[in-house]
Structure 1
Amino acid sequence: MAVVDGQSGAKSRARNCAIALFAVANVLAMALAQNYKEAEVKAAFLYHFTGYVEWPDSAFESNSSPFVIGVLGKSEVHSSLQSVVRGKDWHGRAFVVKRVDTAKEMRECHVLFVAGAEAKRLPQILEILDDAPVLTVGESEGFAQKGGMINFFIEQNRVRFEINPDAAKRAHLTISSKLLNLARVVRQ
């Protein structure tokens, strides 16, 4: 009888272990799905922001220059953004979404999305951009208060954004009052 109980106990432990692993896998899958959805929402916001911001003519080399959205750092927003802008244009200009890292690449952007892991580089990034007409968008606490222009944050499980209009003005960008009315406005 003890052998049967031993086998039964081993089967029970194996079954409980399998159930626990299944539960952990489900939680991880749900977490990854949530992150992906968040990336899609941020990508959609980035695309729509372009309709509510005015860039000076000097931001473009020529009338046929593309509208460049750069992604600094590893982020699922990059691939989501590529999907969002596919087949679309900005005032007749093709969208180009690319990963960037160098100062030159950052200055060639019209929108620069700074992934959360790159937030520690914000002072250097802002110094590189100086007053270049590049809309800086981040996803880290204090990004807009430290000189970034738009920052994503989560509130009540929803992606929200805050805008630092003074930072945009320094870069010669005009943010529509319609967009400002949807945002939490912050100052440095």
Structure 2
Amino acid sequence: MVLLLSGLCCCLALPARAQPAALGLDLRETLAGIITYTRWPTEPDPVRLCLMGSSPQADTLEQQGLPRNGHAPVSVRRPLPEAPLASQCDALYVGTLEPSGWLALLPAVAGQPVLTVCERSDACTAGGMVRLDSDAAAGRVRFEVNLDAVARSTVRIHPLVLKLGRRAAGKAPP
């Protein structure tokens, strides 16, 4: 377990001048590491990662998926609009989305065993569990963990992952 966590640490400490393609891989590895150390009430196999919104990172996830991490495989998909979100997704990655769109997603996953991960946005702090920040200029991927959102969820994230991430000042959803 320590070895796997050290792999997650390596994903977060990138070379100072990582190229955009390498940064995309590191974001995918970081997300895969977070998913690896997330526990659901009933372990999914495969883990269904749904993509909402758009961004270069979301496009990369859709095209390339996540690297295999030795645990359950992760299937990446766009959810069907006619089906309930929580019935299609074990994890939700939100790219660029208007704040109103993000806030409309929250009730669909509230109280459900869905890990919510989003890109850097203020709306994400209103209920997202993990906020990824991929900084191409600095060549690194960082993440913040909204402890309030994690505590309200039925999924659990390993405490060492919580320590690796910065703590976000959680804001209660409106």
Q: TM-score, normalised by structure 1?
A: 0.66
8 Å CA contact retained: 1:55, 1:174: yes
Whether contact under 8 Å (1:113, 1:136) holds in the other structure is yes
Moved more, 128-137 or 152-161: 152-161
The answer to whether the 8 A contact 1:73-1:99 is kept is: no
Give, in angstroms, the shift of residue 116 of structure 1: 1.7
Partner of 2:25: 40
CA contact (8 A) 2:33 2:69 kept: no
Change (3 A) 1:87 1:143: same
Q: Say whether the 8 Å CA contact 1:78–1:97 is kept in structure 2.
A: no
Match of 1:126 in 2: 106
CA deviations 1:124-165 (Å, max 9, x no partner) are: 100111211111111132244211000012567222110012
- Letter aligned with residue 178 of structure 1: L
Could you tell me how far 1:71 is from its partner in structure 2?
A: 0.9
Aligned to 2:11: none
Task: Report what 2:92 is aligned to.
Answer: 112
- After superposition, residues 3-152 of structure 1 pair within 5 angstroms as 34=20, 36-57=21-42, 60=44, 65-78=45-58, 80-81=60-61, 83=64, 85=66, 90=71, 93-100=72-79, 102=81, 104=83, 106-107=85-86, 108-152=88-132
Q: Which runs of 5+ in 1 are unaligned?
A: 1-32
Contact 2:24 2:60 in 1 (8 A): yes
Distance, in Å, in 2 between the alignment partners of 1:96 and 1:49 is: 15
CA distance in 1, matches of 2:82, 2:151: 21
- Counterpart pick for 1:172 among 142, 148, 154: 154
Q: CA RMSD in A?
A: 2.7
Give me the identity figure in percent.
Answer: 26
SS in 2 for 1:116: coil
SS in structure 2 opposite 1:141? coil
Q: Which AA in structure 2 matches 1:140?
A: R
Q: Retained in 2: the 8 A contact 1:70–1:113?
A: yes
TM-score, length of structure 2 as denominator length: 0.71
Structure 1 Cα separation of the partners of residues 67 and 35 of structure 2: 15
What are the ranges of 5 or more consecutive residues in structure 2 without an aligned counterpart? 1-18
The CA deviation at 1:103 is 6.6
More helix by share: 1
